[in-house]
Amino acid sequence: MGEAAEATTLYHHHRNRNHESEYDRNQRLEVDLYPLSNYYFGAKHSIPFKDETLADRFSRMKSNYAARGIRNCVEAVILVELFKHPHLLLLQVKNSFFKLPGGRLRPGESDIDGLRRKLVRKLSVNEDDNGTEWEVGECLGMWWRAEFETLLYPYLPPNVRKPKECTKLFLVKLPESRKFIVPKNLKLLAVPLCQIHENQKRYGQVISAVPQLLSKFSFNMIES
């Protein structure tokens, strides 16, 4: 009797495990990653920097907020494969701080149109292109700036009635190959996710949280 009961328990455990595995397979979100060597990188004319210091940036934000209200931004999470590990493409400004490709939306501009426009300006050959070659996927997260300060929140604080900025992160999927043409005064770097994870001191609040936002995906490393 004891052996039969034990056999039944093992059977149900095995069946449940198979059921969970099938569920996981059905729910898996895959992202194809192509080798960094598949892509060509070149340079184009520099783009002007609007702010020399952090104080300059917040001063400009205050002026823009007074004129237009909340600042809406969109940024791209773009991944490539290197050494069998996902790498995030980051722009480095003045050999100093890092940022995701993207920027501020124009009044009335949609998230996808605005992100495509920014990607064309900062990463494409032809700046007159409409950006349709950029495959903008799902929104991975939103960050809020409650006041004119560096602190950002991955939620809107309940006591904040008039946030100053909202930034949305979108997954942008790359084709098997393409050209990246970057302004001369910016650097485009491929940084491993394992280096970025929780490294807020070097990469800031938003970028250091990207690996966690991507944890629901499985990466399909495609060899060239």
Per residue in 14-45, pLDDT (tens digit) is 444 455 455 455 456 899 999 999 999 999 99
Cβ–Cβ < 8 Å for 73, 167:
yes
Specify the pTM: 0.85
Per-position b or e across 1-14, b if 16+ CB within 10 A of its CB: eeeeeeeeeeeeee
Q: Which CATH number fits domain 30-221: 2.40.40.20, 3.40.50.720, 3.90.79.10, 3.90.1150.10?
A: 3.90.79.10
Range 159-163 contact pairs with CB under 8 angstroms and sequence separation of 24 or more = 162/70, 163/70
| pLDDT over 60 at 203, yes or no | yes
Q: Which DSSP helix (H) or strand (E) runs through 143?
A: strand 135-145
Instruction: Give the list of residues 6+ apart from residue 17 with CB closer than 8 angstroms, or none.
Output: none
Q: Tell me the domain boundaries of the chain.
A: 30-221
| Range from 8-12, 52-56, 159-163, 177-181 carrying the lowest mean pLDDT | 8-12
| pLDDT over 80 at 125, yes or no | yes
Question: For 142-154, how does the pLDDT look when each residue is reduced to its tens digit (9 = 90+)?
Answer: 999 999 988 999 9
Left (φ > 0), alpha (ψ -120 to 50) or beta: where does 94 sit?
Answer: left
